[in-house]
Amino acid sequence: MDAKALYQLSYGVYVVTCWDMGRPTGCTANSIMQITSSPATVAVSLNHKNYTNTVVRQTGKFAVSILSEDTDPSIIGRFGFQSGADTNKFDGLDYELKGYQPVVPGCGAYLVCEVIDQMETDTHTVFLAKVVDAEVANPKAVPMTYAYYHNVIKGKSPKNAPTYQPEEEPAKAAEDKRWVCSVCGYIYDGDTPFEELPEDWKCPICKQPKSVFQQK
């Protein structure tokens, strides 16, 4: 089997959020699809290891923030490369509550959902949910596709993503090694040499400092 065939499936980039006993939490997701239009239902795949999975299971409710191409990419890193069990992923974010579910700033649209069924795989839960509210936050927004995230933003997939596949090691180039973020896998490709970036420069995806980058 050539697993690369699966790369030709298309996805968007979303943040699935929920309310965890007095605080908001959530995680980045890409495997979300509309199942029916009337009533509007969606299916969402979340890794068992994601704390959001636990909270959605307990509360039966979540929201989906649909990210657009101009959403700050650090939103993806903030929700995709750390755990909501031990961090407040909303810390410092100006979020809104919609149907008691948090919605991230800068999204193009959002859905508020109630779980009606769920199915388990070895690693992920597929939640089937009714859309109880939906709103277009920015009519001009161009929804971010997963391909855009990879090809334009140069983002990587967290290991918990349903579509994660280990990357092949790049061919060993004799010349320059690349600077890689050890937290999110972002590969620096700016025009300024990495060494000359200011000390307060941060990873554009996960906002970690320059010091977490390693040369590979």
Using CB under 5 A, list all residues that contact Fe ion.
181, 183-184, 186, 203, 205-206
DSSP state letter for 145: B
Alpha-carbon Rg for the chain in angstroms: 18
Q: Cβ closer to Fe ion: 51 or 186? A: 186
Q: Cβ closer to Fe ion: 13 or 203? A: 203
SS3 for 197? coil
Distance CA 44, CA 209 (A): 32
Q: Do you know the residue count of the chain?
A: 216
Shortest approach of Fe ion to residue 189 CB, angstroms?
Answer: 13
Shortest approach of Fe ion to residue 187 CB, angstroms?
Answer: 10
Shortest approach of Fe ion to residue 203 CB, angstroms?
Answer: 3
Q: Cβ closer to Fe ion: 44 or 206? A: 206
**CA dist list (Å): 185 to 59, 127, 150:** 32, 28, 11
Distance CA 192, CA 139 (A): 35
Shortest approach of Fe ion to residue 118 CB, angstroms?
Answer: 31
Asked if residues 149 and 205 have their Cβ atoms less than 8 Å apart, the reply is no
Q: Cβ closer to Fe ion: 127 or 186? A: 186
